[in-house]
Chain A
């Protein structure tokens, strides 16, 4: 019996999901557990594994289409099995991609899956499989229009090898929108470090042309472009709008003296030496915020419009900027984590976010969000609450500034904290007290020991 592949119910909030891409083509053999397709859920692209072993047949959903969850999107048949001729499953499939391995004319009598099979020598297939690449994009140069081994070899040579990048450089590059691959190409064989990103930022005088940013844009005259939002952006837009319409957001801002926090981090880094992970300011704030939330449990609650939920632990969401848009993966039980555990989890989640590999579990269940625009030079802003959460804390740039310290004018490491809260649930004064507690830990970080 053909096995029905269903759109998985990956989202608690969305009834339809966008099928982004098939990772296999009709006629391809697939094993249970192998990645089969990509789907866009709340703020993340997820890889979905094949539920069965066999041959992928009758793809029913085309890439880019929105599909209701739990509806069939393809069938997997066992080896040697074929779909019944009168089966309603045999609906037209998407046009095969135009590659060197295009299907021949005169093969109409074959089932589409067979006619569109990529022609490749067994040796080329084995080579591609060993290298973990598909054959769909490989141009064919062999006899009978086949992809042969040399084609796979040539194709593999065109694939970029991931550049070696220091963690600081990678974070800066992400924040500044710098393509590390381009730097790696200019400086082959070298590990990319902070200075390389600084140079690249200085060198990037001109923003990329709009055409490059919007691949699907139409020119509408006068140099203007018109483009549909991509699926991730559509999700973000819908959620932000819902948040803004449902909640009553108020933002409090407070300047704090972070000199002691800066000194503490310097001491910690010196103490750790080369040991990974290297705690960032985000990690320090995660520790502080988790501590403060235990003392101000309402700020750690969630509100669905009727019921207020006060969880036992802090499920701390971290806003991460990715090329596909903003995501906010969650560190569960952040209040029970040490600084190094928080740092480890942040590194792990950020890497998964940048690779679009976050799972629904990693994205759900947050109770409070921490967002940092300091790396981009922002001091204060009005963060938007991620419903059903009640509050979000934004941290700004830490910079040397004149301040009164010990009755004297001094140059101190100053920063702004921006707390947005839902006034339906929390009043201004309790929110201010929470912000004050955070500020106190920033100014006197040794108090986390008390």
Chain B
């Protein structure tokens, strides 16, 4: 079985779906420009040449336009996959996404569906406050949107394919330090996990989390880059005999509450790690759900590890202090033992 980076796995998912379903097409800024990188992070590299510029369409720098085209195409029966370049730019599309994409199916009594995908890179990578946010939580608040966040190559391919086949608008958040982009687009400090990805057609169902590391003492829920920091923290804590269970939710909406509940019933302790700033993040929702469903199972206060309530700083040293570190996760776990 071939080992792929996340960027390669996403590319394979797009290629397979473009082959499988003629309604699928890609759109975005610089995703197929001749001599380009294949989007900002090489995901669409070579697809324009392979499928033609009708199905891999470069757009002007107008995020509202991208969203409007995608929504219009989707309600007319196409299955657009939009590349948002930086998830920060989703805010340019807010009216289109929140007032149109998320609501049309409800408002039409189910007559319309909006089967579209927005692929949006997140994470602080020394690019400054407007290219560094992790805005997943905004979209978890909007009924009608699904939100996924794959952290491995296997899940990247499987979840993207599931998103393309879903009849609802799905936001796929990808992390810049996990892509494994190469050459001029390689990232400093990248984790770039590679993993075995089956060449055949499979999906990872939306709404299913996964236990990445079984443990008995504390549950950590973390997605994307924070998943890897949590796993590293778990290793450090294991050296002291503290057995941490790490859960990757993979999907934030709908959330696999049952999986988290089972884990908390076992461990009695919960730490949620998110790269976004603390207040009203998706971690707050997980904490509230568990305070409700798992109350009698809790043996310690629920803790969140998140960024401070400021924009991501540009200075690399400040950015390092801003994004939750392995040390912060370890210290937080120790504080509730």
Answer yes or no: B300 CB below 8 A from chain A CBs.
yes
**Alpha-carbon distance A147/B98, docked complex (angstroms):** 46
Residues of B within 8 A of A126 (CB): 296-297
Which residues on the A side are within 8 Å of B296 (C-beta)?
A: 122-123, 125-126
A-facing residues in B284-332 (Cβ within 8 Å): 295-301
Interface flags for A126-143 (1: CB within 8 Å of B; 0: not) read 100000000000000011
Proximity bits, A412-429, B CB within 8 Å = 1, else 0: 000000000000000000
Task: Compute how far the CA of A142 lies from the CA of B297 in the bound complex, rounded to whole angstroms.
Answer: 15
Cα A267 to Cα B164 in complex, Å, equals: 90
| B301 near A148: Cβ-Cβ < 8 Å | no
A142 to B334: give the CA distance in the assembly, Å.
11
Partner of A122, one of B298, B335, B336, B337: B298
Nearest chain A CB to B243 CB, angstrom units: 14
B123 at the interface (CB under 8 A from A): no
Q: Does A216 contact B (CB under 8 A)?
A: no
Counting CB contacts under 8 A, is A295 at the interface? no
**Which one, B295, B297, B300, contacts A143 given CB within 8 A?**
B300
A123 CB contacts on chain B under 8 angstroms: 268, 296-299
A124 within 8 A of B: yes
Would A121 and B268 count as touching, CB distance under 8 A? yes
In the bound assembly, the distance between CA atoms of A379 and B335 in angstroms comes to 69
Give the contacting residue for A146; candidates B295, B297, B300; CB below 8 A: B300
- Interface size class, chain B: 10 to 19
**Cβ of A124 and Cβ of B301 under 8 Å apart?**
no
B301 touches A149 (CB 8 A): no
- Residues of B near A125 (CB, < 8 A) are 296
The majority secondary structure among interface residues of chain A is helix
Residue from A121, A124, A126, A149 whose CB has the most chain B CB atoms within 10 Å: A121
Name the interface residues of B250-307: CB closer than 8 Å to any CB of A. Answer: 268, 295-301
Which residues 195-242 of A sit at the B interface, judged by CB distance below 8 A? none
CA of A186 to CA of B299, assembled, Å: 36
Query: When chains A and B are docked, how far (Å) is the Cα of A221 from the Cα of B298?
Result: 54
Q: Which residues of A contact B300 (CB under 8 A)?
A: 121, 142-143, 146, 148
Instruction: Judge whether A149 and B268 touch: CB under 8 Å.
Output: yes
Please indicate the chain A residues that have their CB under 8 angstroms from the CB of B299 in the complex.
121-124, 142, 148-149
Contacts of A275 in B (CB 8 A): none
Residues on B with beta carbons closer than 8 Å to the beta carbon of A245: none
- Chain B: minimal CB distance from A127 (Å): 9
The answer for the CA separation of A121 and B297 in the assembled complex, in Å, is 9
| B335: A residues at CB distance < 8 A | 143
A148 vs B298: C-alpha distance in the bound complex, in angstroms? 9
> Known: A121-B268, A149-B268. Is A143-B301 also a contact (CB below 8 A)?
yes
Residues of B within 8 A of A149 (CB): 268, 299
Query: Does A144 touch B at the CB level, under 8 Å?
Result: yes
**Residues from chain B with Cβ under 8 Å of A121 in the complex:** 268, 298-300
A211 to B299 Cα, complex, angstroms: 42
CB distance from A265 to the nearest CB of B (A): 55
Interchain CA distance A379-B102 in the complex, whole Å: 97
The CA-CA distance from A443 to B141 in the complex, in Å, is 93
Nearest Cβ on chain B to A69's Cβ, whole angstroms? 39
User: Which one of B268, B298, B301 lies within 8 Å of A144 (CB-CB)?
Assistant: B301
For B297, give its contact among A122, A144, A148 (CB under 8 Å): A122
Contacts of B301 in A (CB 8 A): 143-144
Q: What is the chain A residue whose CB lies nearest that of B336?
A: A143
- Give Cα A148 to B300, complex, Å: 7
Give the shortest distance, in Å, between B292 (CB) and chain A (any CB).
12
Chain B residue with minimal CB distance to A144? B301
Report whether A143 and B337 are in contact in the complex, using a CB–CB cutoff of 8 Å.
Answer: yes
Chain B residues in 8 Å Cβ range of A143: 300-301, 335-337
Residues from chain A with a CB closer than 8 A to the CB of B268 are 121, 123, 148-149
- Complex interface bits, A112-128 against B, C-beta within 8 A gives 1, otherwise 0: 00000000011111100
* A121 (CB) vs chain B CBs: closest residue: B299
What is the bound-complex CA distance between A126 and B337, given in angstroms?
18
Chain A nearest CB: distance from B264 CB in Å?
Answer: 10
User: In the assembly, what is the distance between CA of A143 and CA of B301, in Å?
Assistant: 8
Residue of B nearest to A126 (CB): B296
A124 to B298, CA, bound (A): 8
28 contacts between A and B (CB under 8 A): A121-B268, A121-B298, A121-B299, A121-B300, A122-B295, A122-B297, A122-B298, A122-B299, A123-B268, A123-B296, A123-B297, A123-B298, A123-B299, A124-B299, A125-B296, A126-B297, A142-B300, A143-B300, A143-B335, A143-B336, A143-B337, A144-B301, A146-B300, A148-B268, A148-B299, A148-B300, A149-B268, A149-B299
Given A121-B299, A143-B335, A144-B301, 5 more contacts at CB 8 Å? A122-B296, A123-B297, A124-B299, A126-B297, A146-B300
Report the 9 A-B pairs with minimum CB-CB distance, sorted nearest first: A123-B299, A121-B299, A126-B296, A148-B299, A122-B296, A149-B299, A123-B268, A143-B336, A122-B295
